[in-house]
A = this chain, B = another copy of it.
Amino acid sequence: MTDSPNDVTPDRLSKADALPPSDQHAQQYVAVRNAHETELLEDYVELIADLLQHQGEARSTDIAARMGVSQATVSKTVARLKALELVSSKPYRSLFLTKKGEAMAAMSHQRHAIVLKFLRALGVSDRTARIDAEGMEHHVSQETLDIMQRFTRERER
């Protein structure tokens, strides 16, 4: 009891965009859930790499301050990073990245930079670009990244 008898592909100018096929639709959400699984890990290793590079040390106090969470939260997340062999450290000492952690940090950093530069090239203010990039970066496919990079390069010529 929706509209016309045989509504296969509604004519132009009809209601709204049709829903994608059920299984394809589901894959959209699956992709998002997958991204969320690694998101925090990526941000942590990226931040640790930055701290090592800029301050020579990655202390959990600094991480807590920069992430805006308590030190207890950092402790727990670091435990997870260690279990995943992304980070190594001795108790009460500075954190370091394993090879695996460095690889992840490098990838994440690169992707983050591409998204951030793209947003600025688009005309977004620095402050907003930084905030949006922090979330968007985890949901941008390689195809889109390539396009963003090309766009930014052209704008900069």
Interface range on chain A: under 10, 10 to 19, 20 to 34, or 35 or more?
Answer: 35 or more
| CB of A97 to closest CB in B, whole Å | 15
**Chain A 1-39 near chain B by CB (<8 Å), digits 1 or 0:** 110000000000001111110111111111110011000
| CB of A140 to closest CB in B, whole Å | 6
Q: Is A95 an interface residue (CB 8 A)?
A: no
Query: Contacts of A29 on B, CB cut-off 8 Å?
Result: 43, 66-69, 134
Query: Contacts of A16 on B, CB cut-off 8 Å?
Result: 50, 53-54
Given A1-B56, A56-B1, the answer on whether A28 and B141 have CB atoms closer than 8 Å is no
| CB of A81 to closest CB in B, whole Å | 16
Cβ-closest chain B residue relative to A69: B29
Task: Pick from A15, A50, A68 the residue with the most CB of B within 10 Å.
Answer: A68
Given A32-B135, A135-B138, the answer on whether A143 and B128 have CB atoms closer than 8 Å is yes
Query: Contacts of A124 on B, CB cut-off 8 Å?
Result: 143-144, 147
* Assembled-state Cα–Cα distance A18/B2 (Å): 57
| CB of A51 to closest CB in B, whole Å | 8
Given A22-B65, A53-B16, the answer on whether A139 and B136 have CB atoms closer than 8 Å is yes
* Assembled-state Cα–Cα distance A100/B18 (Å): 24
Extra A-B contacts (12), CB below 8 Å, given A19-B54, A134-B139:
A1-B56, A15-B53, A15-B54, A22-B62, A26-B68, A28-B130, A35-B135, A122-B144, A123-B147, A124-B143, A132-B140, A135-B139
The 10 closest A-B pairs by CB, nearest first: A135-B139, A26-B68, A28-B134, A32-B135, A25-B66, A128-B143, A136-B139, A30-B68, A31-B131, A22-B65
